[in-house]
Structure 1
Amino acid sequence: MTETLYAIGDIHGQLAMLEDALDRIERDGGPNARIVFLGDYVDRGPDSRGVIERLRQGLAEGRNWICLKGNHDRLFEWFVAPPVPRQDSHLLIGYHWFHERIGGLETAQSYGVDVPERIRQKELAAEFRAALPDGHLAFLQGLQLSHREMGKFFVHAGVRPGVPLADQDEEDLLWIRQEFLEDTRDHGALIVHGHTPVKAPELKPNRLNLDTGAGYGRPMSIAVFEADEIFALERSGRVRL
C-alpha cells in the first residue's frame, strides 16, 4: 500500500480554516490520515485557544498527528511559562508579543484576557497563566522542532544551509528566513516549511513553503506526499505541484 503523508501550513488562530483542512484530509485519506502541522497555531487570527484545544483533542483521540513548534508558539509559551515572561531577541527593538504586527493581543482575547494599554508584563503573565485551560502550556512546551519522514524534513521556518539536519539550531528552525530561502543547495532532504507567507504553495528543488497567509485571512494550504509525488489538496481535490 502506498504511504501517504499530509502537511498543513501556518494556522494562526484560524479554527474554521483548520476544521475545513481536516475535513478535506479526511475525505482524501480517511480518519487515520497522518498529518504534520508546521507550527504557528496562535496569534493574529480570532481563535488561538480553539486551535490549540482542537489539536489537543485530536492527539488525545489518538489521531496520527505530529505537531511542530513555530516561533509564535514559542512567543506564547515564553510569555506565560513561570516564573516571569521572557522576551525573544528575534523581535525588533520596540516590538513585543502584543505588538499589532505580532498578534499576541488576539491570542489573549481568545482566552478572555484583557491587555491594558500600559502593559505590566509580570502581572499580565500571571493573569494569562490562570486563564489557560489545563494542558495548554504543556502542549506548547511539548511541541517538536522538526520531523523527518519520506525523504522530507518538516520544520517551521527552515534550516541553516551547510549545517547537517541533525545539528540544526532551534533559533534557525523557528526564525530563519532569507539565508534559507535564497539558498539553492540540496539540504539532504526536501525541506517542508512555513513561516514566510507566499500567495500559493511554493515548490522549489530543495524546499516547499506552505505558509499562504492564513494569519492574514488568506487560504490555509495542505500538501499531500505520496511516493515521489507532491500535491496541493484543494476543496476540489488534489492538484499536482
Structure 2
Amino acid sequence: MTIYAIGDIHGQTGMLDAALERIDRDGGETGPDGADEVIFLGDLVDRGPDAAGVIEKIASGIAQGKRWTAIRGNHDTMFRRFLRDGTLHDAAILSGNPWTHFRLGGVATLYSYGLDPDLDHEDLVAAAQKAVPQHHVEFLDTCPLWIERGGWLFVHAGIRPGVALEKQAEQDLIWIRDGFLTHAGDLPWTVVHGHTVMDDPVWAGNRVSLDTGAGAMPPRHLTVAAIEDDTVFILTDEGRQELLREAHPDARHAARQTRAS
C-alpha cells in the first residue's frame, strides 16, 4: 500500500491537477477498490484563485468513493467560521489581520464563489452563506484534524510534543510552529504535515514537512509524497525521488513563513 500525501493547495487547481496526474503516473490505485490512499494535508482554500474548484474536486472525488481524505487546516477553519457566523479574526494571527486581509487570502476564496468582498460585512456573510454550496459546507465540517496510519501521523500543522493525541488542542493541530518544529526528541509517530512553508520538502528527524509554497506570494509549487513502509519519495515530473531523512529537526527552511499564514 502506498499513502500519497499532498501539501497545502491554497486554491491552486492547476497545481492540484498536476499532483493528481503524478499519482496516476506513479501507478496509484486510489479509486473505490484501490489499495492506495491520498491524504490532503489541509489549507485547501485562500490566496489562490480557485478555492471553490479545489473543494469541489476533492469533495466530489470522496463522494465518488475515491480513497481520499482531506485534513482540515487553519485556512479551511477560518473559512468555515466565516460562513458560520461571520468570524474574521483568530487569536493565532498575531498581526491582528482579518481573514479577508490579502495576506490571509480570504478575499480570493470569496471571489472564487463569485462574491463581491466590498459588501458590508453582514451582507457579505449572508451572500457567502447563500453562494457556497451546502455540500461544500458539509465537506468542511467533516474534514478530520488528523489521521493515523501505523507509524505515521498526518496533520495540518503539527502536534504539541508530550500531549496525548486525544488531548491535543485544535489550535495546535492547525496552527503550531513553536515547540514542534524544533522538537528534537522522539514522537510516537513520524508526523507528516504542511502549514509551514519550506523551500523544499524536508524529512527532519521526527517529521516530514510538505508545504512548499503553493499559497506563497508569488506561488511556488505543490508537493506530493509517496510513503511506503518507512520510506518517503517525492513525485516529480521525472518520477520518484527518495526523500532522505535528516538527523534532527531544523526550522531554517521556515524563515520566509510569517505567523499570519
TM-score, normalised to structure 2, is: 0.87
Residue 19 of structure 1 aligns to a residue whose secondary structure is helix
Aligned partner of 1:36 in structure 2 is 39
Residue 186 of structure 1 aligns to a residue whose secondary structure is coil
Aligned partner of 2:112 in structure 1 is 110
In 2, Cα distance between equivalents of 1:222 and 1:50: 19
In 1, Cα distance between equivalents of 2:138 and 2:11: 18
Number of aligned residue pairs: give it. 236
2:22 aligned residue (12, 21, 24)? 24
The offset of 1:227, in angstroms, is 1.5
1:54 aligned residue (54, 57, 64)? 57
The offset of 1:85, in angstroms, is 3.1
- Aligned 8 A contact 1:45 1:106 in 2: yes
How large is the RMSD of aligned CA atoms in angstroms?
1.3
Residue 29 of structure 1 aligns to a residue whose secondary structure is coil
2:6 aligned residue (3, 8, 25)? 8
- Aligned 8 A contact 2:71 2:156 in 1: yes
22-31 or 184-193, which deviates more: 22-31
Matches within 5 A, 1:87-98: 87-98=89-100
Aligned partner of 1:211 in structure 2 is 211
Aligned partner of 2:239 in structure 1 is 237
Q: Which amino acid aligns with 2:102?
A: E
Residue 148 of structure 1 aligns to a residue whose secondary structure is strand
Matches within 5 A, 1:105-144: 105-116=107-118, 120-144=120-144
Q: Which amino acid aligns with 1:135?
A: H
Indicate how the Cα distance of structure 1 residues 225 and 93 shifts in structure 2: closer, same or farther if over 3 A, else same.
Answer: closer
In 1, Cα distance between equivalents of 2:172 and 2:40: 18
In 2, Cα distance between equivalents of 1:29 and 1:186: 33
Residue 179 of structure 2 aligns to a residue whose secondary structure is helix
The offset of 1:27, in angstroms, is 1.6
Residue 59 of structure 1 aligns to a residue whose secondary structure is helix
Matches within 5 A, 1:160-171: 160-171=160-171
- Aligned 8 A contact 1:78 1:87 in 2: no
Q: Deviations over 1:205-227 (max 9, x none)?
A: 10000000001211100111112
Q: Which amino acid aligns with 1:21?
A: A
The offset of 1:166, in angstroms, is 3.0
Does 2:66 correspond to 1:68? no
**Seq. identity, %:** 46
TM-score, normalised to structure 1, is: 0.94
- Aligned 8 A contact 1:191 1:206 in 2: yes
- Aligned 8 A contact 1:46 1:107 in 2: yes
In 1, Cα distance between equivalents of 2:215 and 2:188: 30
Q: Deviations over 1:68-113 (max 9, x none)?
A: 000000000000114x436322223541011111000100110010
Q: Which amino acid aligns with 1:207?
A: R
In 2, Cα distance between equivalents of 1:85 and 1:168: 23
Runs of 5+ unmatched residues, structure 2: 31-35, 244-261
In 2, Cα distance between equivalents of 1:222 and 1:229: 14
Does 2:190 correspond to 1:182? no
Does 2:155 correspond to 1:155? yes
The offset of 1:123, in angstroms, is 2.2
Residue 154 of structure 1 aligns to a residue whose secondary structure is strand
In 1, Cα distance between equivalents of 2:20 and 2:81: 28
In 1, Cα distance between equivalents of 2:150 and 2:221: 26
- Aligned 8 A contact 1:157 1:173 in 2: yes
- Aligned 8 A contact 1:165 1:187 in 2: no
